[in-house]
Amino acid sequence: MIEVPEYLFNTLLLDRTTRKNICWATDYYISHGDAYLPQEPITRDLIIGLNANLVKPRVLRSNDEKNRRTKEKAEVFTPSWVCNQQNNLIDEEWFERKNVFNISEGYTWKAVEEKIVFPENKNWKQYIDARRLEISCGEAPYLVSRYDTVTGILISIGERIGLLDRKLRVVNENVNDEGEWFIWVKRAYESIYGYEYQGDNLIIARTNLLYTFIENMEYKFSKKPSEEQLNIIAKIISWNIWQMDGITMSVPFTRTQKAAVQINFFDDLNEDISPGGEQIPCKIFDWRSNNSLEFASMLKEGKNNGKK
């Protein structure tokens, strides 16, 4: 597990909806004791010291571990070259041309060295503010690409292909004043979202986003971020990369128990007949309106707008 200062660790473990810590949401670690049961919160003490290497990226796990998680949780990580090709399609639509950030070459790619040129009707600030979401994000390979998800080899900043990586490249190319640079980096972080069910993956995803900020600051200004800057970015990450059951759009393990229901052939299959009662809907933050809202309500609003 990547080490971060304690004050940042506490933020990276925070669930903004419940104001408690995220939970394990996997039975993968239960051999370590009751504190590692799926519904139990992840605390810093459980993943430091002798357990510092307990939570690790998928690429560092044994084949048996990978196969088990794939079989039991349908956990499959997308190769970086596939993430790149799919992200390229998003940018191809936005820029209305191909090969904006890189040229895909089979199982690899080559970054375009020239400064990114924007369409006449769009500008770089609009690109930074364009919202992006990675569903079931795992370690967030579509958002940031610090390492190759297959080989584990570190990827240089100039060759990174994540959706956030691309926004940060644009900021680096267009802003040289450190104060203004941080303003637009902050907006870039505010514009990307991702949710994940399993707590260990979520920790890695959040850590990857935090270290992406640190590495870009060092790349651009040859210095480390201040404590205040790190706190600001960590807060955004803890809101925007959140733990959620993608089916119920709620916080895992927040359903109250109720009696099992026998399904009738004539029952409405759209009706909630699953065990459990009240759920806690996940909240996200709209940084432009400076307001939190339920993720489910945002989807409903989008569907309603689509019908008009």
Residue 265 covered by a domain:
no
Residue 203 covered by a domain:
yes
Identify the pLDDT of residue 59: 77
Residue 267 covered by a domain:
no
Side-chain-side CA neighbours of 35 within 13 Å: the count stands at 9
Identify the bridge partners of residue 21 per DSSP, sorted by sequence position.
14
13-22 b/e (C-beta count within 10 Å ≥ 16 → b): bbbbbbeebb
Identify the pLDDT of residue 200: 95
Residue 253 covered by a domain:
yes
Question: 74 is in which domain, residue-wise?
Answer: 1-259+273-308
Per cent of the chain over pLDDT 90 is: 72
pLDDT at 1 over 60: no
Residue 266 covered by a domain:
no
pLDDT at 73 over 90: no
Residues 20-63 pLDDT 10s: 999 999 999 999 999 999 999 999 999 988 888 898 887 776 66
pLDDT at 89 over 50: yes
Per cent of the chain over pLDDT 70 is: 83
Name the domain count of the chain: 1
Identify the pLDDT of residue 72: 61
Here the tokens at position 235 are: 């807060």
Here the tokens at position 270 are: 């759209």
Residue 182 covered by a domain:
yes
Query: Rounded mean pLDDT of the chain?
Result: 88
Residue 264 covered by a domain:
no
The pLDDT of 173-191, averaged and rounded, is 98
- Banded model confidence at residue 190, pLDDT cuts 50, 70, 90: very high
